[in-house]
Every structure is written in structure tokens, then in C-alpha cells.
Amino acid sequence: MLTGANKNYVLDLITLAEIKAHLGISGSDDDDTLEILIDEVSDDFQSHCNRHFACPGTCLCWERIDIREEDINIIQLDCYPISSVIALCQTDKVASVAYLETDYWIYEELGQIELNSGSFPKGKQIIDIGYYGGFDSEVPPRLKTAAKEEIAERFYEEDSALNREKMGDYSYTKAKRITRGSRQIFSPRVTRILDDFRNIPL
């Protein structure tokens, strides 16, 4: 898992200008609502995909992995694509070992590091990895498309889906979005797009 200041960071997958253009909105009356939806959808997508799409500033990430149940030779990182790895260390109660760049392969697009030989042994072992990763500036177009569609659906839901409330002589209803635990249930099309970006545990 990510450690330090970057662990709670969420990248906005789309800008306010982009979603307003998609919705055909020119005024500023809905800006606050749209910015909330951008944050909400970006966070929901990141949770659904079980990964960090980006980290702030220089995109320097630190992760700590506790190896207890079985030997592993591939590590799956949370924030990818990986630009570079600056540190890979294994620590136990006795000593700390730093791996050289020649000791492992980096699969940038998959967010994985694989040892050239051997494995990280199970037991009370801690693996610390420092690396640069995530979509630093350009979000993949398909991910932007999914964000546009999901934000549009939620935006129009605010106007048209009503859930009974009353203010004086005026009454209206507003439906709540269906949720499953902490994750939103997306449309089949959005789900298909997100599945291509999901971090599935090894």
C-alpha cells in the first residue's frame, strides 16, 4: 500500500471545462455541482480499479508490502504506469537488503516488479519500494470517456431523479444512486472500460 502524503491523493480524471463542453453547458451556475461530481467519480473509479491513477507534485510514490503468507517474485504496485524505480529494499528483524537495478525487471504499464531470480521469502519481511508512477499529466482517452459518461449520468440524475421532499407547498422526490458497499454500480459500458484499468491482485 502507498505510504506518506500521497496515499490519499486522487487525480481528477477530467477538467471542469471538458465536462461542461461534453454537457453543452456554457454558464457557471452548475460549476460547483460539476466539480463535486468530478471529485466523486474520480474517487469512485480509483476505488473500483483498486489503484492510484496518479500522485501529486513529482509523482514520487512509496509503498510498503508485508510478506507473510507465501514467497513471491512479482510485486504489484498501486500507482502506475511506472516511470522509474529509485529504491527496492527488503527488511527483516536482522538486516536490510537493497536490490540493484539489475536484480529485477520493471513492467511499466502493468505496474509490476519481478525479480530476475529467486523470490522475496515469506515470513516477517517488509518490502519498501520508492518509484515514480501514475498518469502524471495525460489521462488515457478511454478513462476520460468513462468519466464523462458517469458524470453526465449523475448530473442529470440530480435534475430528473426525485426523492420525496417537501418545502412548504412545493414537494419533490429525489432517488439515491444504488451502491454496493463503498463502490458505485456503473453502467455496463463504463464497467467494461474500467475493467481494463483494474488492478487485480496477483
Distance CA 26, CA 200 (A): 40
- The closest alpha carbon to 11, from 66, 59, 69, belongs to 59
Task: Per-residue pLDDT tens, the chain, 202 aa: give them.
Answer: 555 445 556 778 999 999 999 999 999 999 999 999 999 999 999 889 988 886 554 567 888 888 766 778 888 888 888 888 999 998 877 778 899 999 999 999 889 999 998 887 776 678 899 998 887 667 889 999 999 999 999 998 866 544 445 555 555 444 444 443 334 689 999 999 999 988 876 5
Q: Which residue has the cell 464497467?
A: 191
Distance CA 45, CA 40 (A): 9
